[in-house]
A and B are shown apart, each in its own frame.
Chain A
């Protein structure tokens, strides 16, 4: 069988780059889950909203890319806080199904609202790179992809610094570890909860804008919110390192599945469902993922 190995390399490279973005969004998801015990089914909508806000600033207000980008970040930070205070705060202590349904309701609401305000069509960002491309080992890499790679690394380093050294980051880790103890040591868990949502929304917006630069903005970008689930299950639900690694694994796996599908099996659509088969498999053999903490129950 004559396989196109160059295509495989190209796909795997794409997989790593897209996977890094999955990892970044998965990290936001894990951040919220870890510090507030909320499963955010609206993560994908956060990504899209960030991209739309940045796009509308450029297209409607005729701002340059950098101020529009900064505006989108500020907007999304505030938005994250508002969502936490209005929707999630009243549900603290409610059973898990209520919390899941609340974020699902939020995602439906946001999706319809965004379709209304920004329209159903995909819009592209003005080309800020001028079609500039780079060659790495004979493979073409678009500038947008390169930017996404660099930004992903920057975000991950920033996360690392924030949680390791900053006062707020330590407070968040303490809250994630044990809410009651953290509260009795004088940490305001309310503020920590709001901040977790703010950071998550902010970082999602970065991922959304980068994705928008490469593929254009549309509601379809919210698919990344669904891809997050295989990524976090592979990595472990409460591990930030696991989320990044899980994202990369899912990105590579998707593109690998596309290659096997396109070159050998020819069944079509493997790209979309392969991550979910892996998800079920992981849940069967290692339900806490690669880095997740095992839940031990004692009576």
Chain B
């Protein structure tokens, strides 16, 4: 039986949702115009005033915000409330440049935690559950977001934060944790470690996992589900918009429902900025409808995916987004071809290798090189060089079929690729361009 945290909103009619969005958008644009001079200037440059925005249908008239704007306006330029009303900041890891610092009022935090509570409930969570939050706590949104969501659902919350893997496992086994929240790469690592310690899926008390903050493939999902004996749910979010819980997966596992009463999702052509119809692939853009302290309008996420409004078997009516293929900044352009790490992961897992890999891109004699380093596993090893070389070649062929590119495959010793406790470092780009 599907559970909902706020059924009246999560299962509202599409008309009702549009009405909520229109009302909130009109108010939000006025709030931004009055309180965020940086965005007001962008609107003025485009010749748009709040009077032009009468409903959700007028959204396209508004200018975009990009990560570059966030950098330029850092730290306070996009804050929409007096600082005396702000109660918290969260921040990104800053791996792709300057950190993003996002601001929250108490109202913003409550809404964010409600979104996370919807995700936990959709994963089957109730007040009977023990929910271990192994996302990092602190500046990173993962820990605080799911922690708050878990409280709202009424789960017994175990705030382990990330790291100290053996202690994580001790808590899972001793407290009989039923729901695990962490990055998918850390879930895979926990699974690997528990297997080594002799715990099979039937010994592990977990029933569900809520994994997000990095791109992961369907194949990786199946691996984690098998090793831990759970159902693994995806969750999506960005610090810029609050954190995890912007969208989340339901039992159907056919895309993530966007919390449309709080966010409007659009897909645009990343080149022209033109809005694309549902079902077409493009860059995901979000408008936050009721955030007070950091009210971003038409924020370009750089995530590439599709939206669908087809009816979902779970009963929720909110639009679904497919798992992003990767951020446009995770996307590598190698010899002119767009490559997402998740595509490489799919090929590796299909060929029987583990999801521990690293992609090294370099430029030699003006030609890009792609080296995929994979750890040798006991299952793939034989004493016969020829057989190993054949399997290596199969991988090269598989990668060529998937990417349209010739890649080098290097087999490396087990445990030589660093395991991450937060976001996995999959790509090392050595090109100096």
Asked if chains A and B come from one complex, the reply is no
Binding site for A on B (CB under 8 A): none
